[in-house]
A and B are shown apart, each in its own frame.
Chain A
Amino acid sequence: MADKLLEIKDLSVEYHTDDGTVYAVNGLDLTVEKGQVLGLVGETGAGKTTMALSILRLLPERIGKITKGDIYLDGIDIVHCSEADMKLIRGNKASMIFQDPMTSLNPILTVGDQIAEVLELHNRDQSKEEIQKRVDEMLSLVGISPERKNDYPHQFSGGMKQRVVIAIALACTPELLLADEPTTALDVTIQDQVLHMMRELKEKLDSAMILITHDLGVVANNCDSVAIMYAGEIIEYGRVEDIFESENRHPYTVGLFNSIPDLTQKTKRLKPIEGLMPDPSNLPSGCTFHDRCPHCMEQCKTMKPLAVTSGTHMVRCHLFEKSGKDTVV
């Protein structure tokens, strides 16, 4: 029985802006086991980045607030622990990789210094030589010659910058890596290289990873489990096989698969999902997907669907509630 590394229960996060309140995350439940790679799939506005930032308590200070719910990282109560405790966790127990490598690195520090920085913060007793040795190790691990450790970020290409970012994130061998669209800004061949490298590193270091992406192809090649996020909640969850091959999937998931041009088939027109992601400051009643759903029923408009679980597969949809599935959670 695998250990639970991360447990999120009923998380709600709001942003209080001048233009009103944005309900970015609404009652989110998620579990990640040790060593597992979870793909978090969703489109712009679903709340994926907000969730990741909440796990590390990096929400924008005066605006973002966790209003409800719990987050437990290896037993530690993230929502209520002190800032001093959080500082020990960030970069050490859990790290994050952001989407745009162009802006994630400090342009006036060498890459070696930036990797050393995170090492120094969490290993105060180590000598300078030991830290430099580790910097060299990390650079080699991500496929960059250690001779380049005194180069500046602008001297590297996009793909290599992202490797440096990954080196920084993994330097202290975190148990959990949050990767927010780590390869979206990269060319497809470089994306391939970087993801391949991340897979290898994950094996070596046995880290768990939440891989946030909108690309189902990336999920297919890299993830063990998948969670589909829509309007701030997880509407479907399961192992990769459940999400890619099951007959009983959430209509949004089906819609996502239909929107992707399939290289193996000769289809003339794509079948996009009608309409747009709802405005998070003005969410629809009942099931948040009801106004775009081809199978919308009366109850969908007023009642929030419950989570229906069948083995490893969970779906939040009224369609599956009556069909005699296992426990209604």
Chain B
Amino acid sequence: MHTQYKKKSKLKSTWVRFKKNRLALFGLCMLIALILVAIFANFIVSYDTAITQVMADRLQTPNAQHIFGTDQLGRDMFARIIYGARTSLFVGLLTIIIALTFGSIIGAVAGYYGGKIDNVIMRFVDVLMAIPSMLLAISVVAALGTGLVNIVIAMSVSQIPRFARIVRSSILSIKGQEFIEAAKACGSSDARIIFKHIIPNAIGPIIVQATLAMGTMILTVSSLSFVGLGIEPPSPEWGSMLAEGKDKMRYFPHLVTIPGLAIITAVLSLNLMGDGLRDALDPRLKN
């Protein structure tokens, strides 16, 4: 009978390294706070408050009743920021999940099989990548119309090339390593090699890119809303809040600074966390 020896968790050692990076930890905390706020929005403030227009209360600077003030239609800014978090984070996450899934499949097939398949697939990807993502998003929305679903489609498509390339290059660099040859030497099937040997080793850079890309997505959603192609009013969205407030920016800066700060907070927290994650997953890169 042999003694039971415990496995040292890779997750645990990654977390230990991550914790040491104070900025990354800060980013993570901010992100968790934002996520909690988005999930439990109803418990903080009601949705009605976010959309109800009270003309008598309009354009109030931050005060005791309205912590972030009110906008030009008398809606409580605090409530709109809270519900805006929901939109931004939700759209960002969904977009990345879709782009990641499709991009990974495309990139994996191209990378593993190489040759003509690789060539054809990557040329499609190159074409997609040549179009600036904002323009791509705008054209898709212009064609399909606004609305949450169409925006998500538009943004996902623009991000697929990024993930296809990352996954493909990860697979290319791992494919040539000797332990893959060793797997072939004992007769492993292609599927087993891809799922058991290659993908677990490629996950690091993919996760990092995903977190960083989410920040970009939040900015893109806001930008789309800013130009009027994004989320329809009266749904609160940080970008549309910026658009609506910019005319009155001179005398009522809070209309613009507060949504602006919200966007900055979200994107910054994702970036800090993503950087910290990259350093923690591959400590060799740090020095």
Contact = CB atoms under 8 A, between A and B. Distances in A.
Contacts of A18: 17, 20, 283
Nearest to B280: A18
A63 B286 CA distance: 11
5 contacts: A18-B17, A18-B20, A18-B283, A62-B287, A63-B287
A60 interface: yes
Q: Is the interface of A mostly helix, strand, loop or mixed?
A: loop
Contacts, number: 7
A323 to B, nearest CB: 46
Interface in A53-93: 60-63
Interface in B15-64: 17, 20
Q: Is the interface of B mostly helix, strand, loop or mixed?
A: helix
Contacts of A60: 287
Nearest to A63: B287
A63 to B, nearest CB: 6
Contacts of A63: 287
Interface of B: 17, 20, 283, 287
Contact size class for A?
under 10
Most buried by B among A18, A60, A62: A18
Contacts of A62: 287
A20 to B, nearest CB: 12
B119 to A, nearest CB: 25
Contacts of B287: 60-63
A219 B106 CA distance: 55
A18 B20 CA distance: 9
A60 B286 CA distance: 12
B278 to A, nearest CB: 15
Contacts of B283: 18
Interface in A278-311: none
Interface string A16-34: 0010000000000000000
Contacts of B17: 18
Contacts of A61: 287
Most buried by A among B17, B20, B283, B287: B287
Interface in A1-29: 18
A63 B284 CA distance: 13
A163 to B, nearest CB: 29
Interface in A192-229: none
A60 B287 CA distance: 8
Contacts of B20: 18
A61 B283 CA distance: 16
Interface in A251-269: none
Nearest to B17: A18
A168 to B, nearest CB: 25
A63 B287 CA distance: 9
A18 B287 CA distance: 11
Nearest to B286: A18
B20 to A, nearest CB: 7
A209 to B, nearest CB: 30
A315 to B, nearest CB: 37
B10 to A, nearest CB: 15
A130 to B, nearest CB: 39
A60 B20 CA distance: 20
A4 B205 CA distance: 52
A62 B286 CA distance: 11
Those 7 A-B pairs whose CB atoms lie nearest each other, nearest first: A60-B287, A18-B17, A63-B287, A18-B20, A18-B283, A62-B287, A61-B287
A62 B287 CA distance: 8
B12 to A, nearest CB: 14
Nearest to A62: B287
Nearest to A60: B287
A61 B286 CA distance: 12
A18 B16 CA distance: 10
Interface in A96-121: none
A64 B17 CA distance: 19
A218 to B, nearest CB: 28
A103 to B, nearest CB: 15
A202 to B, nearest CB: 35
A49 to B, nearest CB: 16
A16 to B, nearest CB: 11
A218 B287 CA distance: 34
A63 B283 CA distance: 13
A18 B17 CA distance: 8
A18 B283 CA distance: 9
A95 to B, nearest CB: 24
